[in-house]
Amino acid sequence: MTALDCNVSTCGFNDERCCCRSEIDVKGTKADHTDDTCCGSFKKESSEFQNSTRTPNTNLSVGCEAVNCAFNDGNKCSADHIDIAGSSANDAGQTICSSFTCK
């Protein structure tokens, strides 16, 4: 499991910089830089999240399509800790995996 620090405050799954999903997917098949990645699990905060029960996870499974990332091990993230950024994102394309490291 990977420790995740998420600063995407506009995501409905974010609760105090923790993700309330059990897993996320990092997209960016052809990524060479952090800007080429994104959190494919991002969902813009909406009224549907306001009344839902959310349990923040500090460690979760991270699927990774960024095959050029040094931490990609069989399409899973092998990093001990990652950061997802994009504090005012309106869609997944405005988020990034700040921990992406090109091989």
Contact 95, 35 (CB under 8 A): no
Domain range for 29: 2-97
Domains in the chain, number: 1
**Residue 55: predicted pLDDT:** 85
Q: Which residues pair with 21 in a beta bridge?
A: none
pLDDT in tens, 22-60: 999 999 999 999 999 999 999 998 877 665 667 888 889
Asked if residue 103 is part of any domain, the answer here is: no
Contact 103, 71 (CB under 8 A): no
Q: Model's pTM, two decimal places? A: 0.90
Helix (H, G, I), strand (E, B) or coil at 29: coil
Asked if residue 73 is part of any domain, the answer here is: yes
Contact 2, 64 (CB under 8 A): no
How many residues make up the chain in this entry? 103
